[in-house]
Chains A and B, each alone.
Chain A
C-alpha cells in the first residue's frame, strides 16, 4: 500500500500542494511533480552536488531530502534566480562572461550553492571559493573558470 502524504511547499515564491509517496525524493518531486527540471540529478547519493537547492535558504542535496520533508518549508531552485526570461541573474551572467560552464549539467547546483555562499561571504578569497565548491563535481571545466566566475562577483560587488 502506498504511504501517501499531502505536501504544501513554497518553491520560488509560489505555493504548491501535491500528494506524494513518502519514498519520493525531493529532487524527483521538484522535477516530476512540479515540472521544474532545472534541478539536475546526478549520483542520487549526495556526492555530486548537481541537485543542490536552497532549503529554507541553505544549500541542500535534494536527493538526500524526502519530498515529505518539504512540507511547510521554503525551496528555491535555479528557476527562481531570475523572473525575467531576458535577463540573467548577476551570478548566471558572470558564469556566461567567464565561461564558467561547458555542458552545464552541474551548473544549477553550483549556482544555488554559490548564491548562498556569496550572501554569507560576499568578499571571499580564492581558497574560500574552492572550499565552498568542494561539494559540487564538474567534469568539464577543471573548475578554473567556475572559480573565476565567482571571483568576478566579488570584483563587481
Chain B
C-alpha cells in the first residue's frame, strides 16, 4: 500500500514540464491533483518511473469566458458562428474552484450541477479537471459531461499545440488521443446562445450505492428548443456505459425535430437502454445498469422539460 520507488521532479514552468515529458516519454507521468494517480500508485497498479509534479507551476488553473477563435467545431459551432463565446478552463483548475465558480454556475449549469457528485469534498479540494480528463476513466462524471458540452481540449508539447474535440479525445478505457509528449493544458466549452429563438437547458443525474462512490450509472442531458418548442438539438451522455464515456446518438435522434412528448421520452430511453455498452460489475449487473440508464434518461429529460425551460 505504498508507491514503488520513482524519481520526483517539481516542474518549474510549463516549458520545463513539457521538456521533461519529451525526455522521459512513457516512463514519466504528470502529477496533477493525484486523486486517481496516487491511489493507483499506492495499490501498485501504476508504477511510473518519473513523476513530474505540475502543482508548483502557477497559471495552469483558471476559469475564463472569452471568444475563442477557431473553436467553431462540432454541432453547436456549426449551427452558430465560427467563433463562439467559450468558457476556457485551465487544466489544473481544482474541482473545488469549479464547484464554487459563480461564472460556471451562470454560464455552464451542467458542469456546476455535476461537481457535487464527483467524489468527496476532500478529493475535490485537490483533484483537477485536466487530471480527471487525461485519466479518462469511463466511470467518471466529467468525461461524459464534456462530450455533451462539445468541449475542445488543448494539447501542448515541445512540438507545439493542437485542439482535440472531446468526441475524439477518449479513445478507450484510461486512454486518450494525447501523444506521449503532450499535456492537456486547457479545456474550452462552447457556450450556447440562449435567446427567444433557441434555448438550451441541461441536467445531470447519477445513481451510486453510496454518496461519492463511482456511480452505477449516470447521465448528462442537453436539450435545445426553438421558439416553437421544437427540439433542434439533443445530447445524451452516459458514464460507466462502455470503454469510453458514451454519447447515445441514436436515442437523441428520437427527440430531435420533435415537440417532445412522453412517448418520445419513452422511445429515447428505450433506445439508450440498448445503445450503451455498460460493463457490469459486482455492484450492478449489465441488465441493471441498462435499466438505470433508461430510468435516468426519462427522469433527466422530464426534469429539463418540466422545470428548466
> How far does the alpha carbon of A99 sit from the alpha carbon of B272 in the complex, in Å?
49
B126 within 8 A of A: yes
Q: Most chain-A Cβ atoms within 10 A of its Cβ — which of B6, B42, B96, B210? A: B42
CB-defined interface of B166-182 with A at 8 Å, one 1/0 digit per residue? 00000000000000000
| A residues in contact with B7, CB < 8 Å | 3, 22
B121 within 8 A of A: yes
Interchain CB contact (< 8 A) of B2 among A25, A65, A131? A25
A61 and B211 form a contact (CB under 8 A): no
Interchain CB contact (< 8 A) of A46 among B5, B31, B38? B38
Interchain CB contact (< 8 A) of B42 among A5, A22, A63? A63
Q: How large is the interface on B (under 10, 10 to 19, 20 to 34, 35 or more residues)?
A: 20 to 34
| B residues in contact with A86, CB < 8 Å | none
What is the distance, in angstroms, from A26's C-beta to the closest C-beta of chain B? 10
> How far does the alpha carbon of A22 sit from the alpha carbon of B31 in the complex, in Å?
13
A68 and B8 form a contact (CB under 8 A): yes
B34 and A65 form a contact (CB under 8 A): yes
A45 and B42 form a contact (CB under 8 A): yes
| A residues in contact with B69, CB < 8 Å | none
Q: Most chain-A Cβ atoms within 10 A of its Cβ — which of B7, B121, B126? A: B121
What is the distance, in angstroms, from A104's C-beta to the closest C-beta of chain B? 19
Q: Which residue of A lies closest to B7 (CB)?
A: A3
Chain A residues with a Cβ closer than 8 Å to the other chain, count: 31
> How far does the alpha carbon of A65 sit from the alpha carbon of B125 in the complex, in Å?
12
B122 within 8 A of A: yes
> How far does the alpha carbon of A132 sit from the alpha carbon of B96 in the complex, in Å?
13
Q: Which residue of A lies closest to B4 (CB)?
A: A23
B125 and A21 form a contact (CB under 8 A): no
| A residues in contact with B4, CB < 8 Å | 23
> How far does the alpha carbon of A44 sit from the alpha carbon of B43 in the complex, in Å?
9
| A residues in contact with B8, CB < 8 Å | 3, 5, 22, 66, 68
B59 within 8 A of A: no
Q: Which residue of A lies closest to B116 (CB)?
A: A131
A135 and B34 form a contact (CB under 8 A): no
| B residues in contact with A59, CB < 8 Å | 121-122, 125
Q: What are 13 contact pairs spanning A and B, CB under 8 A? A: A2-B5, A22-B8, A25-B42, A28-B2, A46-B35, A58-B96, A61-B122, A64-B123, A65-B34, A66-B8, A66-B38, A68-B8, A69-B34
